[in-house]
């Protein structure tokens, strides 16, 4: 099991596929347009496209990143002399965003098709997954023999760390903060060393793969170094990414599998998650992840004046044939009352969870309304001055997010004698350990 602490060494990622130059360009556009979309969605439709873009750009402090984002997003800002006072509509922006997503997914599928063809050509039985596992296993054994540590891997990628011997000189120079170099210099040197070592390893691995597969189709592509980095579970991790150059800007957050990136989450949820991840990655941080989570959560609950109504808005989509109990219950309540606000199937709507007007029934028994019975359209709730159900937001959602960050502390794992630890199926065992640890961390 992974320990939920900031890893002491940088991690490098390698993809055992052909290089993804085109995907990278489209991925950037998809990412930055996604930030604008999230900004508009979190505001419940009150943000104009141009204002959302300006707000996103204003929040970026890194000059290089700001320039890159401006170049990608500026075409969506209609010049005043050409606009006749009209702003690019949300629907037009979403059409372009959907087109970019489609193009990205299409190109990604084509690349996977190349891998499938290659695996078929070499008669690697079992399809892409087994072929990928075989190749990853070959690479894993190769890098382990060279002294590299494996932190995480799947069918086409590995996160690994260099041997400690690579960092001996900078370790001595830093000497736990008592040496001749600063912490920033120490971290910079570790990442620089990692980049150089991984670059050399990549060439060695590609030569090895050409020898094993008798082909140049399959190769390792170095993508980035992550440091600091925290692994919170299977396919769930975050860190500061360094690609072409060392950069400890907190803006360069790399996330995989953390719920803050999920569609529909409130800005409150995202802000608290980002605060935790930013503090963990801050070069001046001296606290454990557990302590940071406790402090951020405590401040969020005690100092409620820092939050406004818009930050509690969530979004969801109503689909008649999908058994989303909360949404189905909510739409059922709204029929006949707000028919004009019920969108066509699949369209997203903004809502908040409000405190029930009545907490006891006529017999004096305490009511336990479900989420679907407490949901209200965001604009209606704001107009009527409805009280938000803070218990739902903090106890039901934020606590779960915080538990995910701290659950890999050993104290949350099952006892060695536990029934869970005796499960033979490794996937099922991992799932149950994960569920057990998260539930215990919530309590």
In this prediction, residues 424-434 reach a mean pLDDT of 86
Who has greater pLDDT, 64 or 227? Answer: 227
Compute the distance between CA of residue 431 and CA of residue 421 in angstroms, rounded to an integer: 11
Residue of higher predicted confidence among 284 and 427: 284
387 with 238, same domain: the answer is no
Phi, psi for 349 (deg, rounded to 5): -130, 155
Q: Kindly state whether residue 418 falls inside one of the protein's structural domains.
A: no
Residue 57 domain boundaries: 20-122
Round to whole Å and give the CA distance between 63 and 52.
19
> Are residues 250 and 361 part of one domain?
no
Least reliable range by pLDDT among 24-33, 149-158, 171-180, 224-233: 149-158
Q: Torsion angle, CA of 32/34/40/43, rounded to 10 degrees?
A: -110
Is 70 exceeded by the pLDDT of residue 19?
no
Q: Which residues pair with 236 in a beta bridge?
A: 233
- Those residues whose C-beta lies under 8 Å from the C-beta of residue 391, and which sit 6 or more positions away, are none
User: Both 63 and 163 in a single domain?
Assistant: no
**Tokens 């606290």, residue located:** 287
| Residue 142: inside a domain | yes
Whether pLDDT at 8 is above 70: no
Whether 387 shows a pLDDT value over 50: the answer reads yes
Question: Tell me, what CATH number does 398's domain have?
Answer: 1.10.132.60
Q: Is 94 inside any structural domain?
A: yes
Q: How high is the pLDDT of residue 44? A: 65
- Same structural domain, 71 and 148: no
Hey, which bits of 95-155 come out as E strands?
149-153
Q: Is 147 in the same domain as 186? A: yes
Same domain, 2 and 141: yes
> What pLDDT band is residue 14 in, cutting at 50, 70 and 90?
very low
**Total domain count, the chain:** 3
111 and 133 in a single domain? The answer is no
State whether 194 and 314 are in the same domain. Answer: no
- Which among 122, 154, 172 is the end of a domain? 122
Within-domain flag for 84: yes
Domain membership of residue 86 (yes or no) is yes
Q: Tell me if 146 is assigned to some domain.
A: yes
Q: What is the largest CA-CA distance in the chain?
A: 79
Q: Which of 222, 237, 257 is the last residue of a domain?
A: 257
From residue 390, give the alpha-carbon distance in Å to each of 187, 312, 355: 40, 9, 8
Residue whose pair of structure tokens reads 């390893």 in the numeric block = 201
| Parallel, antiparallel or unpaired: strands 253-256 and 314-317 | unpaired
Q: Is the pLDDT of residue 311 over 90?
A: yes
Answer whether 270's CB lies under 8 Å from 260's CB.
yes
Same domain, yes or no: 57 and 176: no
Is the same domain home to 54 and 75?
A: yes
**214: domain CATH number?**
3.90.1600.10
Residues 406 and 373 in one domain: yes
Q: Decide if pLDDT at 115 tops 60.
A: no
Answer yes or no: is 301 within a domain. Answer: no
Here the tokens at position 117 are 């063809």
Q: Is the pLDDT assigned to residue 409 strictly greater than 70?
A: yes
Q: How far apart are CA 300 and CA 269, in angstroms?
A: 10
């Amino acid at each position: 099991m992974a320990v939920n602490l900031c890893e002491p060494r940088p991690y490098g990622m390698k993809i055992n596929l052909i290089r993804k130059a085109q995907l990278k360009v489209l991925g950037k556009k998809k990412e930055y347009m996604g930030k604008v979309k999230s900004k508009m969605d979190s505001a419940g439709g009150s943000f104009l496209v141009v204002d959302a873009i300006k707000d996103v750009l204003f929040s970026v402090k890194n000059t290089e990143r700001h320039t890159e984002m401006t170049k990608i997003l500026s075409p969506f800002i209609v010049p005043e002399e050409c606009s006749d006072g009209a702003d690019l509509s949300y629907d037009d922006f979403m059409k372009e965003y959907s087109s970019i997503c489609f193009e990205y997914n299409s190109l990604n599928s084509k690349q996977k098709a190349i891998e499938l063809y290659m695996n078929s050509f070499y008669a690697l039985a079992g399809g892409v997954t087994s072929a990928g596992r075989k190749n990853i296993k070959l690479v894993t054994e190769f890098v382990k023999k060279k002294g590299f540590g494996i932190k995480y891997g799947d069918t086409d990628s590995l996160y690994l760390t260099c041997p400690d011997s690579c960092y001996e000189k900078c370790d001595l120079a830093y000497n736990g903060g008592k040496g001749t170099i600063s912490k920033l210099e120490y971290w910079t040197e570790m990442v620089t060393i990692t980049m150089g070592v991984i670059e050399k390893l990549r060439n060695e691995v590609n030569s090895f793969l050409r020898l094993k597969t008798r082909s140049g189709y399959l190769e390792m592509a170095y993508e980035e170094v992550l440091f600091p980095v925290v692994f919170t579970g299977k396919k769930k991790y975050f860190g500061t990414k360094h690609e072409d150059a060392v950069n400890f800007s907190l803006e360069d957050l790399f996330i995989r599998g953390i719920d803050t990136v999920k569609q529909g989450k409130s800005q409150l949820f995202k802000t608290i998650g980002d605060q935790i991840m930013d503090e963990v990655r801050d070069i001046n941080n001296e606290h454990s992840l557990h302590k940071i989570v406790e402090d951020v959560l405590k401040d969020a609950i005690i100092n409620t004046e820092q939050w406004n109504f818009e930050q509690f808005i969530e979004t969801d989509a109503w689909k008649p044939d999908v058994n989303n109990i909360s949404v189905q219950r909510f739409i059922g309540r709204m029929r006949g009352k707000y028919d004009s606000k019920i969108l066509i199937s699949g369209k997203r709507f903004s809502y908040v969870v409000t405190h029930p007007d009545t907490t006891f029934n006529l017999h004096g028994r305490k009511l336990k309304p479900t989420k679907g019975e407490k949901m209200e359209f965001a604009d209606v709730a704001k107009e009527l001055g409805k009280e938000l159900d803070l218990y739902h937001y903090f106890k039901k959602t934020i606590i779960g997010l915080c538990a995910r960050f701290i659950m890999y502390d050993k104290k949350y794992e099952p006892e060695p004698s536990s029934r869970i630890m005796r499960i033979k199926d490794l996937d099922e065992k991992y799932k149950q350990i994960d569920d057990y640890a998260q539930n215990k961390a919530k309590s």
